[in-house]
Amino acid sequence: MNYKAVLLDLDDTLIASNKVYDKALKYSADFLAEKYSLDSEEFYELAREKYSLISHNFPTVHTRHSRILLFRLALDETAKNYDIGVLPVVEDIYWDYFLQNVKVFPEVKETLKKIKEEGVLTAVVSDGDLSLRIRKVQSAGLLKYIDEVVASEEVIFEKPFSAIFTLALSRLGVDPHEAVMVGNNYKNDIRGAKLVGIKAGVFSPEGGNIQMSDNGVKPDFVMKKFSELLKILSI
Ligand SMILES: [Mg+2]
């Protein structure tokens, strides 16, 4: 197999996001609880509830990742006459905590460096808004190895809808059969890529966060270590 480009999911493929989301939520919920004299455990639980409500109310669009909306709902319910000026502040607190604490999976940097040296193009293909995608890639120290960052915000609909994949291919100037996709979500990353004719594999490291593996989607390959990507690319 020889490919000209690699499309990479971001969260729980390049960076171990899942582990940090909850801590970031606790950290920012504590900030609000202290500010408005609320019980910190109760407010954190409420914030978790609102997070799941927002995720379910906005399927397939990037609004489902909004943290400002969950803090708004949680404060609406608990803090009378709170200052809405605090909403963007707590959103920044949340993402700053996340960006400072999220870790890159082992072998990712070295592997991407090698891929770049070999002249294979790379694009991060990730659901959410563009600004935060770029900031995540940047604070993970990966921006210098990556050719493109493509966000679902740019095409409205999230993976597995095909627009984000075709936008990534067109930005890199390659055809579907010349690219390979790597992700952690069988439905969104694997099925989504395969629907447009891109070979797709799962990255399943120890302690990883595999999603939607029980829906009958068959990946073209499974990687336990990120460096196995080099073999897939015949590097
Ligand atoms: Mg992911």
- Asked if residues 5 and 122 have their Cβ atoms less than 8 Å apart, the reply is yes
72 Cβ partners below 8 Å, 6+ apart? 84, 87
d(CA 114, CA 124): 16
**Residue 100 corresponds to which tokens in the numbers above?**
């400072």
CA of 129 to the centre of ligand 1 (A): 14
Token pair in block for residue 49: 């509830």
Of 11, 123, 226, whose CA–CA distance to 235 is shortest?
226
* pLDDT given at position 1: 54
Distance 119 CA to ligand 1 centre (A): 25
Q: How far is the CA of 109 from the centre of ligand 1 (A)?
A: 17
- List, for the chain, all residue ranges whose pLDDT scores fall below the cut of 70: 1
81 Cα to the center of ligand 1, angstroms? 37
Please tell me the distance from the alpha carbon of residue 145 to that of residue 61, in angstroms, as a whole number. 28
For the chain, the distance separating the N- and C-terminal CA atoms, rounded to the nearest angstrom, is: 10
CA of 160 to the centre of ligand 1 (A): 12
Structure tokens at 58: 């906005």
**For residue 139, how far is its CA from the centre of ligand 1 (angstroms)?**
17
Say how many Å lie between the CA of residue 8 and the centre of ligand 1.
Answer: 9
Report how far ligand 1's centroid is from the alpha carbon of 185 (Å): 6
Contacts for 199 with CB less than 8 Å, ≥ 6 apart: 1, 3, 177, 179, 180, 181, 193, 220, 221
pLDDT at res. 26: 98
Q: What pLDDT score was predicted for residue 132? A: 96
189 close to 9: Cβ distance less than 8 angstroms? yes
pLDDT at 62: 85
With CA atoms as reference, report the closest residue to 186 among 148, 165, 214, 145: 214
Q: At 6, is the secondary structure helix, strand, or coil?
A: strand
Cα of 21 from ligand 1 centre, angstroms: 13
Global pTM reads: 0.95
Kindly report the CATH class assigned to 5-16+104-232: alpha beta
Q: Contacts for 209-213 with beta carbons within 8 Å, 24 or more apart? A: 209/12, 209/16, 209/17, 209/18, 209/184, 210/184, 210/185, 210/186, 211/12, 211/184, 211/185, 211/186, 211/187, 212/185, 212/186, 212/187, 212/188, 213/186
Q: How far is the CA of 183 from the centre of ligand 1 (A)?
A: 6
Residue extents of the structural domains in the chain: 5-16+104-232, 18-101
Tell me which DSSP letter residue 120 carries.
Answer: -
Q: Please tell me the distance between residue 146's alpha carbon and the centre of ligand 1 in angstroms.
A: 17
- Summarize pLDDT for 184-221 with one digit per residue, the tens: 999 999 999 999 999 999 999 998 999 999 889 999 99
How many residues are there in the chain? Answer: 235
CA of 89 to the centre of ligand 1 (A): 26
Short-list 116, 104, 119, CA closest to 10? 104
Cα of 104 from ligand 1 centre, angstroms? 13
Q: Write down the pLDDT at residue 59.
A: 85
